[in-house]
Amino acid sequence: MPKVSLVTLGCAKNLVDSEVMLARLDSRGYSFTADLSQADILVINTCGFIGPAREEAHRTIDQGLSWKQARPGRLLVVVGCYPERFPDYLKARYPQVDVWSGVRAFDRIDEIIEKKKDVSRAGTFLLDHRTPRVISTGPHWAYVKISEGCSHRCSFCSIPLIKGPYKSRTVESVVREVKNLADLGIREINLISHDTTYFGRDRKGPGLTVLLSRLLSIKGIEWIRLLYGYPEEVDDSLLEVMLEPKMCRYLDLPFQHASNSILKRMGRGLGGARALRLLDRIREKVPGVAIRSSLIVGFPGEGRKEFRELRSFVARARFEHLGVFCYSPEPGTVAAGLGDTVPEAEKKKRQQEVMWQQREISRQFYANFRGQTLEVIVDGSEARKPGYLATRARFQAPEVDGQVLVEPAPGLKGKDLPAFLKVRVKRSLDYDLIGRVTDD
């Protein structure tokens, strides 16, 4: 059978879609290679969410075309959010691509390849517990996608245009998938969605707290983490569940901005003062919680006053983890009609200012762990420091937050690494910790 190489761009939700494609191809007898020179088929799973993501897709497609031209008979397939959003533009720009497909046929990638045409069906592709996946993350953790789409109407966001309205899986479907993952040795699950806190509301059925209560009872699962929440949907019932021992005291809540005028233009309802009160309530009810957020700088109308409000908010919020992004006008969104009033150079300057501010907050946060003993989950070897292990504490989500780097020690090499270790922290960096294994 032909050899396939699959490249995934974008977010964790795209990664799950790629895992579905890998499983489908594996079941049909295809083999895989990370060495492009050995591949007969290249599948690129794209992100089309913002301008920089599309630019990355362009570079990757250009590389794919060079690969295709180097040997006759090679097949280049491009799928995902970008061709879902702009199919005509991409087909005109890259006529040499063999097949295009959007976000509705990941589980039929074998048919796309064999028929050399898109076989998308109407409606949203929503995986369930019967959908095979090849887990491509660390040996002990996995993502679990609990929904597709989004029903919020943030003025800057194109997700509803790409994925459609919010569509939850059933509680039973998610529970059965997590049980299967536990049987495979997965010990940490990271629930992902375009809005995890909205889960079940579209069905007018059991919501997130019911789902979490079911997942907490699954034998073998030790850590449960929530990613991609929505601040206004955090309620006391969720905060109460987060006190359970298996729950990572971690919330990912994109606030996007703090200026009331900017938030109104964004279509976001939670102003800066209310956001700070929410953060206080979360930290009061869930001691030791780590909060990740994301912010957008350079949104239309963001002048010096609005940016000062944002800086003040960051200083008071003291997020444990923060991502800051430059505004990118998205065709078809309401915000695109507001113009792009902040120059790109100024956006980058503001982004850097906030990240330097956050760097000091992060440095102080990590310094608090010096001398402490932490339970960490083992992700594998650390490429940046040969001999070290890459691990994470409960307050660190995979791929987006820092790590706990563990010094070399006897028995910490090879494939049979334990899922969890106890580590005494010796040093703290801006975004990472360094420690040694301990029996304490």
- Do the annotations mark residue 248 as ligand-binding? no
* Contact between 390 and 421 (Cβ < 8 Å): no
User: Which of 56, 10, 307 is CA-nearest to residue 158?
Assistant: 10
Tokens of 217: 């009872």
Q: Is 47 annotated as a binding residue?
A: yes
DSSP designation for 286: S
Q: Can you read off the two tokens belonging to residue 434?
A: 């360094």
Q: Under 8 Å CB-to-CB from 291, ≥6 apart: which residues?
A: 250, 251, 252, 253, 279, 282, 283, 317, 319, 320, 321
What is the C-alpha separation between 120 and 112, in angstroms, rounded?
9
11 annotated binding-site participant: yes
What is the amino acid identity at position 304? R
In the block, residue with structure tokens 């533009």: 89
| Strand-strand pairing, 433-437 and 167-168 | unpaired
What SS3 state is found at 405? strand
Structure tokens belonging to residue 63 = 């590389």
- Give the N- to C-terminal CA distance of the chain in Å, as an integer: 52
Contact assessment for residue 68 and residue 76, using Cβ atoms and an 8 Å cutoff: yes
Is 326 annotated in a binding site? The answer is no
Q: Using an 8 Å Cβ cutoff, are 28 and 113 in contact?
A: no
Compute the residue count for the chain.
440
Q: Are the CB atoms for 405 and 352 separated by under 8 Å?
A: no
Closest of 367, 383, 382, 344 to residue 431, by C-alpha: 367
Known binding site for [4Fe-4S] cluster: residues? 11, 47, 81, 150, 154, 157
Binding-site residues, in ranges, read 11, 47, 81, 150, 154, 157
